Amino acid sequence: MIPELGQFALLLALAVGVIQGFVPLIGAAKGRADWMWVARPAAQTTFVFVATAFLCLASCFVSNDFSVLYVASNSNSALPLPYRFAGVWGGHEGSLLLWLMMLSVWTLAVAQMSSHLPQALVSRILAVMGLISVGFLLFMLTTSNPFERLSPVPPDGNDLNPLLQDPGMVMHPPMLYMGYVGFSVAFSFAVAALLSGTLDATWARWTRPWTTAAWTFLTIGIMLGSVWAYYVLGWGGWWFWDPVENASFMPWLAGTALIHSLAVTEKRGAFKSWTVLLAIVAFSLSLLGTFLVRSGVLSSVHAFATDPKRGLFILIFLAVVIGGSLALYAWRAPKVGLGARFSLMSRESMLLGNNVMFVVAMLSVLLGTLYPLVLDALGLGKISVGAPYFEAVFVPLMAPVVFLMGVGPLASWKSALAPDLARRLRWAAGVSVVAALVTGWVAGRISLGVASILTDLWERLRPTATQPGLIGRVRQLPRSMAGMMLAHLGVAAFAFGVSMVKTYEVERDVSMRPGDTTELSGYLFTFRGVRDIQGPNYDGVQGLVEVTRGGQPEAVLRPEKRVYRVQRNPMTEAAIDPGPTRDLYVSLGEPVDAGAWIVRVYFKPFVDWIWGGCLLMALGGAVALSDRRYRLKRRETQTSTTAAGVLT
Amino acid sequence: MKPRHKRVAVIAGVLVCVGVACGLVLNAFQSNLVFFYSPSQVAAKDAPVGRTFRLGGLVQAGTLQREGLSVDFVVTDTLTTIPVRYRGILPDLFKEGKGVVAQGQLGPDGVFVAREVLAKHDENYMPPEAADALERARTAGTAKEVYK
């Protein structure tokens, strides 16, 4: 009964989605208020139906309804409850439903929070989002229906892939999808602006919080994936340049560029058509990412059983969305215009530099990811592009980015004076030269970024005649400014963590008998043997490794090797002792002979700074979102429209 | 500077940046492409010696030998076999009779020294490279029979 209800809800969502996609669009084109009015209630109704379908599938998982094919292939009655719920997005069909669910959440959010926007703009935005949901609904209903029944009903399910039975599975996909799909809002804003032909500073101000929100979610999503890979794959790496990781990284790079160019469009009215193009690109890359990951053209933990019909559908959908929006762009962008001019030495040109770097970085990732696929599709042989390529490209590209990140916010808009900039940055420059001399080029570069941000902060928080108290000055600091500084400090922390791990990490594979010791960077690891353990749905062994430093006990680590009962796959669970300055990491390899095991031990200095930096970036995004200026109501935004009009 | 000159300077600057980036990218690309070969191709001396490439196929049953940290096994595409040596921990899903992809270099003694061994995350999933090697061997095999 419940699966049929879910199926029916999806069909209803499709019907309402078609109305949401076409009626307001035609209404906006013809200027008919009653047709435009349809957008909001239609969006709300679509949300209700999609949410119903989602809850139906979740309830099938929770109640172990193995008569549903998708549940039977991705769950098991012995699976703990949180993983049964996460099993909803453990396979292809369910993750599409999750995608759709997130899209409806964003659409509903736009519908509810857009009372201050002009009706025509809101109608167009909601219509574009409706069309996207129609595409995904058609895809689900024709090629990948999660509610398909299975007959005869199996006694038990095939279980969730053991690799996915992890707390990361509960958090990582929803966050990542929230970010991916969030760019559809910026995309819809861009398409709406192209359709209407008007794009001004207010448009940018309305688009900014949505883009920042999507970017924040995506940052957290990628970070969670990275942490998960670090502790669960047993390889101790935090980023593998795997095509699937790249698929999530490309929209992030484009989104980062978009956030910065939107700032210029809002403040200075410049970069207009470029901003629109970036919004289209960011969402197209999200779609491409979904395609790469879900169509099975890539071999990875994220790829599920493949069906050529699905690949073809996504390919056509991609072509329609990307091709259509780019064609619209080529046709309408001249109307939007380039925007205000600026001098060579200004914050605009520094932000332009940022944009160039991020887009080039994005394109180089795209090349490395797609080239093997294209070559394979053309039958020209199988190749792979590994981490060395991406590292060789990324490190030199990101060096100027860190520099610009420090200097850019200090430069004034429109036209900055080089001597003034040099004077304000003299302390920062001095500090970084010293840091570079003492610890090397990388640390010097990072410290330039940090010192410049601190200089900026000092200039803003320095006692002034009007506001002598520090707390008052902090409160006067605009939230968007504080958010930017936090995010930039996050980048610095991230870069520091990466450099330290790259330079000083130590890894060793050793064969150890109980009682054997091995020494790593001053830490003494003693292997005490293994014992059998039993989990809810797995059996395994747990090793015991004691770590001492200078004779003092430092940590006790218990790495595990598990075999899940249904799929009989072995799984390595690493044991980690985290710390602010280092992680100690131990994972079990395989038993050799007479109680000896091959054990992998790692010393990872400052590795947690990588994710701490990502968290700071996300926190910066959240703080920027809380800026008062985004909460202005209609009347005030109209006044500032006029003001902006005068400015540009 | 006149506005027009400034605009030219900005465009020139952007072009230089993009050009440098393209140079970096293509250079890195050239030197970091990893090609794939099947055991038959390696046996036919198609694969380069002293350059990193990927070898794919099945782990031949009964050939896995571990001595301390180093492992020896044989990769087959059912026609030809290549001995592989590796040092370290094998992935969880590495099994005799299952698909495998090894990345490394071919030594002068004909032994493939792997620096990385990849097995996939799903028991029934065959790495595409390994599947490709078997497919090639199969078609080559039938072609030979037709010849006879």
Q: Going edge to edge, which strands form the sheet with A582-591?
A: A506-512, A597-605, A582-591, A575-577
Contact flag A386-B32 (C-beta cutoff 8 Å) = yes
User: Is B89 touching A (CB cutoff 8 A)?
Assistant: yes
pLDDT at A442: 63
**Coil, helix or strand at residue B64:** coil
User: Is A591 touching B (CB cutoff 8 A)?
Assistant: no
Cβ within 8 Å of residue A450, ≥6 positions away? A406, A489, A492
- Asked whether the predicted pLDDT for residue A640 surpasses 80, the reply is no
Higher pLDDT, A350 or A460: A350
Residues of B in contact with A161 (CB under 8 A): 121-122
Which of the residue ranges A2-6, A587-591, B7-11 would you say has the lowest mean pLDDT?
B7-11
Residue appearing with tokens 């001098």: A343
Whether the Cβ atoms of residue A185 and residue A110 lie closer than 8 Å to each other: yes
Distance (Å) from the C-alpha of residue B116 to the closest C-alpha of chain A? 11
Residue appearing with tokens 């080529």: A330
CA dist B38 and B46 (Å) reads 10
pLDDT at A439: 66
CA dist A597 and A114 (Å) reads 61
CA dist A567 and A96 (Å) reads 24
Contact flag B92-A571 (C-beta cutoff 8 Å) = yes
Question: Which residue out of B4, B11, B32, B100 would a mutagenesis test of the A interface target, given it has the greatest number of A Cβ atoms within 10 Å?
Answer: B32
The predicted-structure confidence for A238-264, as pLDDT tens digits, reads as follows 888 888 889 999 999 999 999 999 998
Burial A606-643 (b: 16+ CB within 10 A, else e): bbbbbbbbbbbbbbbbbbbbebeebeeeeeebeeeeee
Cβ within 8 Å of residue B97, ≥6 positions away? B58, B59, B60, B61
Which of the residue ranges A2-11, A223-232, A329-338, B68-77 would you say has the lowest mean pLDDT?
A329-338
A 199-258 residues with CB < 8 A to B? 234
Closest in A299, A367, A393 to B128, CB measured: A299
Distance (Å) from the C-alpha of residue B6 to the closest C-alpha of chain A? 6
* Size (chain A), residues: 648
Average model confidence (pLDDT) for chain B? 79
CA dist A375 and B81 (Å) reads 27
Query: What DSSP string describes A410-433?
Result: GSPSS---HHHHHHHTHHHHHHHH
Tokens linked to A297: 């053209």
pLDDT at A350: 84
Whether the Cβ atoms of residue A21 and residue A127 lie closer than 8 Å to each other: yes
- Percent of chain A scored above 70 by pLDDT? 91
Contact flag A386-B21 (C-beta cutoff 8 Å) = no
- Percent of chain A scored above 90 by pLDDT? 45
The predicted-structure confidence for B40-54, as pLDDT tens digits, reads as follows 888 888 888 888 888
**Coil, helix or strand at residue B102:** strand
- Percent of chain B scored above 70 by pLDDT? 84
The predicted-structure confidence for A154-167, as pLDDT tens digits, reads as follows 988 888 888 888 89
Question: Among candidates A425, A411, A289, A292, which has minimal Cα distance to A352?
Answer: A411
User: Is B98 touching A (CB cutoff 8 A)?
Assistant: no
pLDDT at A282: 96
pLDDT tier for residue A403 given thresholds of 50, 70 and 90: confident
The nearest alpha carbon in chain A to B69 belongs to A511
The predicted-structure confidence for A364-384, as pLDDT tens digits, reads as follows 899 888 888 888 777 777 788
Residues of A in contact with B93 (CB under 8 A): 569-570
pLDDT at A191: 95
CA dist A271 and A269 (Å) reads 7
The predicted-structure confidence for A504-557, as pLDDT tens digits, reads as follows 899 888 889 999 999 998 999 999 989 999 988 899 999 999 999 988 999 999
User: Is B51 touching A (CB cutoff 8 A)?
Assistant: no
- Asked whether the predicted pLDDT for residue A609 surpasses 90, the reply is yes
The nearest alpha carbon in chain A to B8 belongs to A344
Query: What DSSP string describes A122-179?
Result: HHHHHHHHHHHHHHHHHHHHHH--TT-B-SSPPSS-----GGG-SHHHHHHHHHHHHH
Contact flag B24-A393 (C-beta cutoff 8 Å) = yes
**Coil, helix or strand at residue A386:** coil
Burial class (CB in 10 A: 0-12, 13-18, 19+), A142: exposed
- Asked whether the predicted pLDDT for residue A332 surpasses 80, the reply is yes
User: Is B62 touching A (CB cutoff 8 A)?
Assistant: no
pLDDT tier for residue B109 given thresholds of 50, 70 and 90: confident
The nearest alpha carbon in chain A to B133 belongs to A382
CA dist A647 and A637 (Å) reads 15
pLDDT at A639: 44
Contact flag B6-A343 (C-beta cutoff 8 Å) = yes
User: In this structure, what is the dihedral angle of CA atoms A559, A565, A571, A575, given to the nearest 10 degrees?
Assistant: -20
Radius of gyration of chain B (CA): 22
Residues of B in contact with A368 (CB under 8 A): 29
pLDDT at B10: 74
Contact flag A385-B90 (C-beta cutoff 8 Å) = no
pLDDT at A646: 37
Contact flag A509-B3 (C-beta cutoff 8 Å) = no
Average pLDDT over residues A583-587: 93
User: Is A353 touching B (CB cutoff 8 A)?
Assistant: yes
Contact flag A352-B3 (C-beta cutoff 8 Å) = no
Average pLDDT over residues A632-636: 47
Closest in A299, A393, A600 to B120, CB measured: A299
Closest in B9, B90, B92 to A569, CB measured: B92
The predicted-structure confidence for A611-620, as pLDDT tens digits, reads as follows 999 999 999 9
Question: Among candidates B75, B76, B77, B80, which has minimal Cα distance to B117?
Answer: B75
| Most confident stretch, A130-139, A437-446, B136-145 | A130-139
Whether the Cβ atoms of residue A157 and residue A75 lie closer than 8 Å to each other: yes
Contact flag B32-A600 (C-beta cutoff 8 Å) = no
Distance (Å) from the C-alpha of residue A81 to the closest C-alpha of chain B? 23
Distance (Å) from the C-alpha of residue B93 to the closest C-alpha of chain A? 7
Cβ within 8 Å of residue A83, ≥6 positions away? A160, A164, A165, A169, A170
Tokens linked to A37: 């009015």
Helix, strand and coil content of chain A, in percent to the nearest 5, comes to 65, 10, 20
Distance (Å) from the C-alpha of residue B22 to the closest C-alpha of chain A? 8
pLDDT tier for residue A305 given thresholds of 50, 70 and 90: very low
Contact flag A509-B10 (C-beta cutoff 8 Å) = no
Question: Among candidates A202, A215, A207, A13, which has minimal Cα distance to A113?
Answer: A207
pLDDT at A300: 46
Closest in B18, B27, B121 to A360, CB measured: B18
pLDDT at B26: 80
- Asked whether the predicted pLDDT for residue A126 surpasses 90, the reply is yes
Burial class (CB in 10 A: 0-12, 13-18, 19+), A141: middle
pLDDT tier for residue A303 given thresholds of 50, 70 and 90: very low
- Asked whether the predicted pLDDT for residue A197 surpasses 60, the reply is yes
- Asked whether the predicted pLDDT for residue A465 surpasses 70, the reply is no
Which of the residue ranges A236-250, A311-325, A467-481 would you say has the lowest mean pLDDT?
A467-481
Tokens linked to A553: 């006990």
Average pLDDT over residues A287-303: 66
User: Is B72 touching A (CB cutoff 8 A)?
Assistant: no
CA dist A363 and A281 (Å) reads 11
Cβ within 8 Å of residue A577, ≥6 positions away? A547, A554, A555, A557, A583, A584, A585
- Asked whether the predicted pLDDT for residue A217 surpasses 90, the reply is yes
CA dist A196 and A190 (Å) reads 10
Which of the residue ranges A145-149, A152-156, A564-568, B28-32 would you say has the lowest mean pLDDT?
B28-32
Question: Among candidates A576, A591, A537, which has minimal Cα distance to A229?
Answer: A576
Residues of B in contact with A383 (CB under 8 A): 33-36
Average pLDDT over residues A392-399: 81
Higher pLDDT, A253 or A302: A253
- Asked whether the predicted pLDDT for residue A87 surpasses 50, the reply is yes
Average model confidence (pLDDT) for chain A? 86
The three-point CA angle A474-A476-A479 to 5° equals 85
